[in-house]
Amino acid sequence: MRDINEIDLRLIDTTILLVFLGTMRHRQATAVAREMGLTQPAVSHALKRLRNLYGDPLFLRRAHGLEPTALAHELEPKVRRIVRLLSETLEGAEDFDPGSAVANLRIGAFDYELTGIIPKLVADLRTASPNINIHAFPLHNNDALDAMVQGQIDLSVGYFDFPASSESSFVAETLYAEDYVLAGRHDHPLLAHELTLDEITRANHLLISPYGPNRNLVDHALHLQGHKRTIKTIVPSLFAALSIVENSDLVVTLPSRVARNNAARFNLTHKPLPIQGGTFQIHAVRHIRDARNPLHLWVLKRLRDAVSGSLECATATGASWHC
């Protein structure tokens, strides 16, 4: 058999493949034409194209019909496999079986999600699908979106400020909405009563930000009211912040679920902020190319289950990592 080049491949279509399989089955061009709804000349033309492509007669005329050559017998299982694969792409994805699925799922998240949502998801998957491994990366917002475009992560969980130019490239699902609170040590005098804007302004604040000073939703809301908080300490991570606040006069703004579920561990108390505009949404985001990925769709359901239960089960959010 001669070598097949790219030009030859462009001449192959599903019709000639189906004609080939039909001829192997019926050994009669008329029977193939009748089965496929083609004319007999059309079947003959398809067989001629195959002969030219493979440089072989493929079928020899005999008194009883068409006799396949040795090459035709060799090609039959390969062509049948190609047709089956094409058929499967039209039928859609196979049912996803979490019990037998084997995959490495790469998730972008940061701090609050890594200490709250992701642990819950990992514990769930260890039971429901033990061969799906979670690889978490400290990425969020634009960094996470860029990583998804490059195929470096599969999905990301957190707060996203989508650039208008990128919205059509991603599929975002809202997991829940969250509010900020002000947290401090359990006996902090500021948190013994309802807060006022003046008290918040005079307090000494700790800022959680991996990238240094940065304004967030709370700062913006305070600014609209003519106030500005005083930042005394900046740390890059949640648990470092909670450890410092537990043993100082500093206060920190946190998502309410984070404050509520770490209160006992770090001996903290918290109060709602007397401002509007501190509400944000947590999203699960994927690239549009994975919109129908059965693994992703199944994991999204597990994520929804993880955050829709009790507040104790959904311990971390993080609209902004600059709290």
- Residue 6 to residue 197: CA distance in whole angstroms: 72
In angstroms, the Cα distances linking 314 to 180, 252, 284, 311 are 15, 20, 14, 5
Report the alpha-carbon distance of residue 103 to residue 130 in Å, rounded.
Answer: 10
Domain extent at residue 71: 6-91
Residue 258 burial by Cβ neighbours in a 10 Å radius (0-12, 13-18, 19+)? buried
Q: Is 268 left (phi over 0), alpha (psi -120 to 50) or beta?
A: beta
**Domain annotation covers residue 284:** no
120, part of any domain: no
- Tell me, what CATH number does 37's domain have? 1.10.10.10
Cβ–Cβ < 8 Å for 144, 153 = yes
Within a domain: residue 74? yes
pLDDT tens digits, residue range 118-155? 888 999 999 999 999 999 998 888 899 999 988 899 99
Helices H / strands E in the chain, number of each: 13, 11
Q: Answer whether residue 24 is part of any domain.
A: yes
What residues contact 46, with CB distance under 8 A and at least 6 apart?
15, 16, 19, 20
Let me know if residue 35 belongs to a domain: yes
Question: Is-contact 229 222, C-beta < 8 A?
Answer: yes
Band of residue 18 on the pLDDT scale cut at 50, 70, 90: very high
Is residue 71 in some structural domain? yes
The domain total for the chain is 1
Is residue 58 in a domain?
yes
pLDDT in tens, 31-89: 999 888 899 999 999 999 999 888 999 999 998 889 999 999 999 999 988 887 787 66
Query: What local confidence, expressed as pLDDT, does residue 9 receive?
Result: 66
Helix or strand (DSSP H, E) at 320: none
- The answer to whether residue 84 is domain-embedded is yes
Q: How far is it, in rounded angstroms, from Cα 201 to Cα 222?
A: 9
- Which secondary structure element, helix H or strand E, spans residue 69, and what is its range? none
Inter-residue contact 300 to 154 (CB < 8 Å)? no
Q: How far apart are CA 108 and CA 285, in angstroms?
A: 9
The pTM of this model reads 0.63
